[in-house]
């Protein structure tokens, strides 16, 4: 490509300081170095983790930064030493690398590659490339990366270990949902706490991750799926996706607390409880709802408070553990999940609830995420090749016409609760949005 080896100027949404709106800036993106790949981002989603990192709640986060970690794109160029990836390849830049040479990549029990740039155990530079420098500049200063992806930019540079090459016929505007939210939820009933047929499970927090868990639990044959969320519209979504019972965390069925009710009704409690709300209160309630002896609680949400667990219930054999990215090894798994979608086995379209018109609307998308409205908002980045959209896809290929039509709709009934899904409802408001419908 004519841009290979050159600095690219493009647009990006930059967080200059904590808890402030992102600013659309013209930035410079340097060429990839050894073992790196430069990607033209075509579609990006907005995840709660992006909102969290830009909020300033983590004192270790450095600004300015470019967030975003759920995306699809096309390889623009590759650095020296990169093998098996070529310009023009369609890819998902995964936030979880897979170097295929460390103890975590070799071990079936872990997907936390040594190159993963997140968390207190991180052994590599957290907001730069491996050489300690950034590939972004804006207004003459360095701009930091975010968990190796930084997809709120029209171009980004990532490690080869994060690049998942996928079927070029897959619609990038739909499989973008595999970049984080759906994948993070869906993997847990398979990899982290395997669900057995006929079992009873619970899911706290019915967002993209929680619904992904639900899809996985159904596929694994769970008999009873309990959904817990304070927002009635989220519980309606849960029913649509297969929940058998729905509760608010404050409900007192039969005059009992929710954990007491679930332990009484389901022969001692749930076999597995998945927490996807990002709430320490949800973790405790989920834990208290599980069976003694072998009940498991899996924490999936980003929590900014310490957990308090009843020690006597822990002593009775209940276990609690955390998981990242559903336990999937990214480069091995994402191409496979794309193929499952292509043959109609994953309901990814149902996870994309809103589409913004372009990057300039990213702050509206973030506000939507903060209010827990919808499942996933997707933003198109720059000029989109026709081959990258749902005009060429597998499950929809039997439709005679698939023309993208922009329709402006006024949404007057937004769900508005705080960012962990377990807070106090706020006032409703009107938000103008652009939706892309296939007709």
The CATH number covering residue 423 comes to: 3.90.180.10
Question: Is 209 among the domain residues?
Answer: yes
pLDDT given for residue 337 in this prediction: 98
- Stretch 322-341: mean pLDDT, rounded? 97
Task: Specify whether 23 is located in the same domain as 171.
Answer: yes
Task: Specify whether 313 is located in the same domain as 432.
Answer: no
Separation in Å, CA 57 to CA 265, 282, 323, 395: 39, 19, 21, 41
Question: What percentage of the chain reaches a pLDDT higher than 70?
Answer: 87
Task: Specify whether 220 is located in the same domain as 126.
Answer: no
Task: Specify whether 248 is located in the same domain as 316.
Answer: yes
Question: Is 1 among the domain residues?
Answer: no
pLDDT given for residue 404 in this prediction: 28
pLDDT given for residue 390 in this prediction: 60
Task: Specify whether 115 is located in the same domain as 249.
Answer: no
Over 70: is that where the pLDDT of 427 sits? no
Q: What is the mean pLDDT of the chain?
A: 88
**pLDDT tens string 343-398:** 999 999 999 999 999 999 999 999 988 887 889 999 999 766 666 766 433 333 33
Task: Specify whether 314 is located in the same domain as 245.
Answer: yes
- Provide the domain count of the chain: 2
Over 90: is that where the pLDDT of 321 sits? yes
Question: Is 81 among the domain residues?
Answer: yes
Say what the pTM is: 0.86
Task: Specify whether 106 is located in the same domain as 200.
Answer: no
**pLDDT tens string 30-68:** 999 999 999 999 999 999 889 889 998 888 899 999 999
Over 50: is that where the pLDDT of 19 sits? yes
**Hey, what are 425's tokens?**
């409802």
Task: Specify whether 94 is located in the same domain as 237.
Answer: no
Tell me the C-alpha distance between 40 and 76, whole Å.
6
Query: Which span out of 110-124, 192-206, 392-406 was modeled with the highest average pLDDT?
Result: 192-206
Task: Specify whether 15 is located in the same domain as 105.
Answer: yes
pLDDT given for residue 407 in this prediction: 26
pLDDT given for residue 282 in this prediction: 97
Task: Specify whether 83 is located in the same domain as 161.
Answer: yes
More confident of the two residues 430 and 377: 377
Domain boundary among 306, 325, 344: 325
Question: Is 15 among the domain residues?
Answer: yes
Question: Is 358 among the domain residues?
Answer: yes
Task: Specify whether 100 is located in the same domain as 138.
Answer: yes
Task: Specify whether 24 is located in the same domain as 133.
Answer: yes
Domain boundary among 294, 325, 356: 325
Domain CATH code at residue 214 = 3.40.50.720
Domain boundary among 297, 325, 353: 325
Question: Is 333 among the domain residues?
Answer: yes
pLDDT given for residue 254 in this prediction: 96
Question: Is 166 among the domain residues?
Answer: yes
Separation in Å, CA 269 to CA 205, 244, 320: 18, 15, 15
Least trusted range by pLDDT, from 213-217, 346-350, 423-427: 423-427
Q: Which domain holds residue 36?
A: 8-182+328-438
Question: Is 288 among the domain residues?
Answer: yes
């Amino acid at each position: 490509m004519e841009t290979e080896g050159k600095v690219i100027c493009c647009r990006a949404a930059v967080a200059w300081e904590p808890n402030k709106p992102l600013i659309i800036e013209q930035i410079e993106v340097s060429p990839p170095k050894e073992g790196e790949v430069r990607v033209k981002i075509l579609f990006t989603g907005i995840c709660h983790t992006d909102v969290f990192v830009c909020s300033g709640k983590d004192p270790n986060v450095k600004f300015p930064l470019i967030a975003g970690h759920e995306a699809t794109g096309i390889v623009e160029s590759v650095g020296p030493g990169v093998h098996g990836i070529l310009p023009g390849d369609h890819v998902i830049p995964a936030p979880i690398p897979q170097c295929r040479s460390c103890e975590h990549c070799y071990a079936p029990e872990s997907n936390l590659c040594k190159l993963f740039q997140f968390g207190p155990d991180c052994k590599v530079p957290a907001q730069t490339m491996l050489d300690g420098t950034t590939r972004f500049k804006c207004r003459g200063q360095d701009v930091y990366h975010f968990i190796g992806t930084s997809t709120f930019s029209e171009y980004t540079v990532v490690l080869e270990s994060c690049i998942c090459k996928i079927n070029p016929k897959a619609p990038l505007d739909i499989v973008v949902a595999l970049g984080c939210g759906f994948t993070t939820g869906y993997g847990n009933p398979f990899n982290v706490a395997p669900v057995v047929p006929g079992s009873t499970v619970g899911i706290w927090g019915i967002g993209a991750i929680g619904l992904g868990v639900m899809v996985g639990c159904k596929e694994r044959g769970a008999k009873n799926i309990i959904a817990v969320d304070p927002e009635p519209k989220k519980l309606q979504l849960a029913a649509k996706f297969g929940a058998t019972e729905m509760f608010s965390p404050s409900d007192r069925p039969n005059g009992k607390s929710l954990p007491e009710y679930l332990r009484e009704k389901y022969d001692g409690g749930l076999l597995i409880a998945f927490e996807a709300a990002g709430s320490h209160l949800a973790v405790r309630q989920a834990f208290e709802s599980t069976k003694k002896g072998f009940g498991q609680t899996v924490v999936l949400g980003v929590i900014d408070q310490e957990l308090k667990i009843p020690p006597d219930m822990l002593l009775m054999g209940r276990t609690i553990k955390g998981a990242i990215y559903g336990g999937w090894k990214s480069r091995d798994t994402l191409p496979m999940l794309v193929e499952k979608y292509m043959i109609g086995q994953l309901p990814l379209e149902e996870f994309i609830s809103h589409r913004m018109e372009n990057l300039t609307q990213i702050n509206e998308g973030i506000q939507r995420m903060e209010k827990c409205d919808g499942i996933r908002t997707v933003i198109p980045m720059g000029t989109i090749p026709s081959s990258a959209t749902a005009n060429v896809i597998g499950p929809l290929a039997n439709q005679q016409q698939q023309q993208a039509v922009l329709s402006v709709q006024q949404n007057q009934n937004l769900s508005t609760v705080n960012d962990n899904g377990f807070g106090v409802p706020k006032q409703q408001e009107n938000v103008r949005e652009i939706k892309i419908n296939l007709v």
